[in-house]
Structure 1
Amino acid sequence: MKWLLGIIAALCLNAGALAQELAPDVLIKNVTNEVLDIVRKDKEIQSGSTRKAIDLVDAKVLPHFNFTRMTQLAVARDWRQASPEQQKTLTAEFRTLLVRTYSKALTEYKNQTVDFKPFKMQPAETDVKVRTLINQPGAKPIDLDYYLEKQPNGWKVYDIEVGGVSLVTNYRSEFSTQVRQGGIDGLIATLQKKNKTGEATVPKK
């Protein structure tokens, strides 16, 4: 549950027309507030509409994540074993798995609020960490940090850290085990099975 609640804020990254002109912390802050406002008002998402949540993810999240780097970090050293075609397939399947996870998190939104911690960066920096705090009614707050890199088409998220635990690192052990057992094709098959059955979970810490 800790991961699921924390990931909700990861859905709040839509740059808009001024994406490349905004500092990464301002980008996250502005659109986090926008997306959470949408969720609060959307009765279908609050009632568990996965399709509606996926539509929101498609519109607000996908353009602002570097899924190739996220997959590479999660697969780690085994990435070098994969052919270009296997790498492409791994990225697509991991992307689908994360979209399902994020969408499920949106449907479980329960009036969490977000505090944005102080942020500083040097003008030439191209890799930054933006820190936030998720406030949950009746529960301890959760630290949620975004790792972003600057690319020619704007800032992209390549990892999310919840309570000090990296999302991509959290998948790494599971992926490594699957590669040892069945090779790269075995990992691809496992991801495809999860996506086909609609599984939307994050490995436990």
Structure 2
Amino acid sequence: MNFKKLLVLFCFLAAGLMPMAQASAQPAPDVLVREVTNEVLEIVRADRAIQAGDSQRVIALVHAKVLPHFDFRRMTMLAVGRDWRDASAEQQGQLTEAFRTLLVRTYSNALTQYRDQTIDFKPTRFGEADKRVQVRTEVRQSGAQPIGIDYMLEKSDAGWKVFDVIVAGVSLVTNYRGSFTQEIRSGGIDGLIKSLEVKNRSLEAEQKPS
């Protein structure tokens, strides 16, 4: 199974990282992933519009549930690599926005593909002083090999934020870094921004209701 297909499996799980109800203490990273993922998957199973492939409804769901718990600036910085420091503040903002839009557009369809997959949450060991934690999970589906999906989270004042996802041993940001580097070498930072924006417009056109 190629990386793109693996990311499809990742996405319906990623959508589980929705904001939890406000509490006096921030939830531990493994608790956040486990409890909210289970809750969101129940919503997906019951939502006929999502099951029928309503892309606009899915995009709205991703915006509401996923974005608050992902550090897209850090993800973009890691994906761009050492070329990030050569980008101006304005270019960094444009890159972050374009990359975030690309991820949302690319993976919103994944929720409509959820059927009978189950999630196995692996034990997570970390201490109170730890600022980075890897939460390991495994996607299981009848007739297919289990696929590992691990979340890399970093603690901030706003709580735990995901800055990378590892699908079957392959890092999301590392996977994008190769293509981003090629784009920058051929067209500079502005060339990468333009390329991302073109991809986003293409995906938007594909997801418009017919």
Same fold per superposition (TM over 0.5) = yes
State the AA in 2 paired with 1:109: Y
Q: Once the 2 structures are TM-superposed, how far is the Cα of residue 46 of structure 1 from its aligned partner?
A: 0.9
Equivalent positions of 1:30-179 (< 5 A) are: 30-179=35-184
Residues in 2 aligned to 1:163 and 1:50: alpha-carbon distance in whole angstroms? 26
Residues in 2 aligned to 1:160 and 1:190: alpha-carbon distance in whole angstroms? 23
Is 1:4 aligned to residue 3 of structure 2?
A: no
CA contact (8 A) 1:146 1:160 kept: yes
Residues in 1 aligned to 2:155 and 2:6: alpha-carbon distance in whole angstroms? 29
Residues in 1 aligned to 2:23 and 2:179: alpha-carbon distance in whole angstroms? 38
Deviation per CA, 1:17-64, whole angstroms, max 9, x where unpaired? 239521100011000001111111111111111111111111111111
Residues in 1 aligned to 2:139 and 2:24: alpha-carbon distance in whole angstroms? 24
Secondary structure of the 2:19 match is coil
CA pair 169-19 structure 1, distance change in 2 beyond 3 A: farther
Q: Residue 208 of structure 2 corresponds to which residue in structure 1? A: none
State the AA in 2 paired with 1:120: R
Moved more, 44-53 or 9-18: 9-18
Flag as ranges the 4+ runs of structure 1 deviating above 3 A: none
The two structures, once aligned, show a CA RMSD in angstroms of: 1.4
Secondary structure of the 2:153 match is strand
State the AA in 2 paired with 1:194: K
Gaps of 5+ in 1: 201-205
State the AA in 2 paired with 1:78: D
Equivalent positions of 1:170-189 (< 5 A) are: 170-189=175-194
Aligned-residue sequence identity (percent) comes to 56
